[in-house]
Amino acid sequence: MKDHLPANHGLPAAVLNSKLIHRRQNEISLTDAQFEALSAGVASGKNILLVSPTSTGKTEVGLIGIATWLTGSESMTKRAVYLVSHRALARQKFNELNTPDILETFSLDQSELAMSNGDLSIDGHGVPLEEPLSARLLIATYEKFLALLSSSGLRQDMTHYCIVADEFQLIADLTRGQDVEILFTAIKQAKIGQFIGLSAVLDNSDLVTLSDWMGAEPTIVLDREIPLSYELRIPSATYVWTTDGPEQPAEEPPRPNRDPISILADLEEDHARNFPVAVFCMTKARVEELARNWSAIRKIGDEAAPLQPDLFEEPTALSEALAMYIPRGFAMHTADLIEGERALVESALDDGKLPVIFATTTLAQGLNYSFKTVIFDKWARYNFARRQSEPIKPSEFHNIAGRAGRLGRMEGNSHGRVIFVVETRAERSAATRYLSTEFDRSITGRLDPSRFDQVALQLLASGIVKSRDECLQLLQQSLSGYIAQEAGSGQDELWEQRLDEALRKLIDWGMLT
């Protein structure tokens, strides 16, 4: 933590004196990540790509950038967009910002704040919007923002925009990366005013690649304000590794409790130290199973009256279960929750009324909930294409683990706690990869020349490009094109040839004229 500002911080008085700049006993209190981001010029309109662990204040870095952008010179013509990975996170961010203090910091009224997350588009008053892009501050998912830009006619000049990209590593995601890459290639072509990228899980080499491509200052902070203690339980021993300790894990005697429910029961013996706890599962069915099992042995709060049915928009099996669980201090969080159920669970989390939450990994995608302990039910996911379970990537593991030890909920604790278990020698070999914070290099272009027919059809049908030459130019300026050029593979001629072949196919198939 830092108790002072960098000399070149660039903060205007309105932002410096706002709640975005934390204070302890009237003294400035910045995380190391916030200090380095200010040093790199985030409040001076500079492009930065910040990589730091979860719970190091990256969200505030993005908000500080937006606040200084919107309150600067020519502020009434400026726009800002905060991009997030999931609809639930867009809703949470929107609610966090839709308060009088924050709106005053941004020099906005409620009608100038908007959210568009795929489910709905509304302003700060809750009024539906036909033109979300007219808002001065828009919170949106990546895909929704791409759709909005495409449907409104892609902007040729975005120099009045500040764009914050949370979880920017999504640009390399196997399923979503293509849309994110297209979005940011188009944004680069329109020369945005300021770019602020945020990520907790980028390898150093990937950070350099993305920073060079985006024209951003790479900024990396490796340390967490609240260290984590990783506890790997195997049948014969327990290995403990801390983020602020030796590089090698320490071997300790085996811990008898190895399934999530017995681990929870054990943790409850020191409730103040260990709770709240998040138990992360790989499937929704497993979330529901563990919640039922915990309910069966739960002793404290059994006398609590269930919630009234009228709190839910429509009765479902999940809402009936939640009505019983929430008054007893636990709940479930999965993608299956409908809007009313999700709002009720997330409100209880916000209010600190859920010491235990059983969740799928969507809860770990940037949602700002604080836990003292994280338990992994499993750390492998079934690959249906290969018909086998495969360990999740270290980056995903640490992103989930980072929900433990977050600032604000660690009173009396020196470390957040992460617990995971192995049963076999093969699992032990795979799991030890997680006992460090080194990430596999994962950045690779998602615009594959072998699928240029799909890419070209998407670009032309959506209106992102209007001709063969515009399509070629976008492909060549994409992250995929940049990586291919750096590899010296004669990309220009090859990609032009592949694009022409793809376009001829689309014409032959009657999809283009």
Question: Peptide bond before 276: cis, by omega within 30 degrees of 0?
Answer: yes
Q: Residue 200 has what pLDDT?
A: 87
pLDDT at 366 exceeding the cut of 70:
no
pLDDT, average across residues 428-449: 82
pLDDT, average across residues 93-118: 92
Confidence of residue 294 (pLDDT cuts 50, 70, 90): very high
| CB contact at 8 A, 66 and 106 | yes
Q: Which helix (H) or strand (E) holds 14?
A: helix 13-16
Single-letter amino acid, residue 230 = Y
Alpha-carbon dihedral 287, 292, 294, 297, rounded to 10 degrees: -170
> Which residue has better confidence, 496 or 307?
496
Confidence of residue 367 (pLDDT cuts 50, 70, 90): low
Structural tokens at position 251: 């071997």
| CB contact at 8 A, 357 and 331 | yes
Alpha carbon distances (Å) from 383 to 21, 123, 137: 44, 40, 39
Q: Residue 442 has what pLDDT?
A: 72
Q: Residue 283 has what pLDDT?
A: 92
| CB contact at 8 A, 398 and 453 | no
Phi and psi angles of residue 501, each rounded to the nearest 5 degrees, phi first: -65, -40
Q: Computed from CA positions of residues 140, 46, 200, 329, in that sequence, does the dihedral angle turn out positive or negative?
A: negative
Structural tokens at position 161: 């925009």
Q: Could you report the per-residue pLDDT of 297-354, keeping only the tens digit for each?
A: 875 555 666 665 555 666 677 888 888 898 999 999 988 888 788 888 888 888 889 9
Coil, strand, or helix at residue 467?
A: coil
Which value, in Å, is the radius of gyration of the alpha carbons in the chain?
A: 24
Q: Which residues of 312-345 are buried (b: 16+ CB within 10 A; e: fewer)?
A: beeeeebbebbbebbbbbbbbbbeebeeebbbbb
> What is the pLDDT of the chain when averaged over all its residues?
88
Q: Residue 222 has what pLDDT?
A: 83
Confidence of residue 156 (pLDDT cuts 50, 70, 90): confident
Alpha helices (runs of H) in 162-242, residue ranges in sequence order? 177-189, 204-214
Q: Residue 508 has what pLDDT?
A: 92
Q: Residue 178 has what pLDDT?
A: 94
Which structural domains are found in the chain, ordered by start? 13-220 (3.40.50.300), 228-434 (3.40.50.300), 449-508 (no CATH)
Alpha helices (runs of H) in 48-175, residue ranges in sequence order? 58-70, 87-97, 100-105, 142-152
Other C-beta atoms closer than 10 Å to the C-beta of 129 total 17
> What percent of the chain lies above the pLDDT cut of 70?
92
- The CA distance from 143 to 79, in Å, is 19
Q: Residue 486 has what pLDDT?
A: 82
Greatest alpha-carbon span in the chain: 72
> What percent of the chain lies above the pLDDT cut of 90?
52
Q: Could you report the per-residue pLDDT of 52-97, keeping only the tens digit for each?
A: 988 788 999 999 999 999 987 666 689 999 999 988 789 889 998 9
Helix H, strand E, coil C: the string for 311-335 is HCCCCCHHHHHHHHHHHHCEEEECC
Alpha carbon distances (Å) from 151 to 121, 156, 410, 465: 14, 14, 45, 12
| CB contact at 8 A, 171 and 210 | yes
- The CA distance from 16 to 22, in Å, is 9
Specify the range with the lowest mean pLDDT, choosing from 184-198, 309-323, 450-464: 309-323
DSSP code, position 30:
B
Q: Residue 228: how many CA atoms within 13 Å on its side-chain side?
A: 29
**174-179 contacts: CB < 8 A, separation 24 or more?**
174/446, 176/142, 176/143, 177/446, 178/446, 178/447, 178/455, 178/458, 179/142, 179/143, 179/146
Q: Residue 55 has what pLDDT?
A: 77
Structural tokens at position 9: 């911080």
DSSP states of 54-89: SSSSHHHHHHHHHHHHHTSTTGGG-EEEEEESSHHH
Alpha helices (runs of H) in 436-490, residue ranges in sequence order? 452-462, 468-477, 479-486
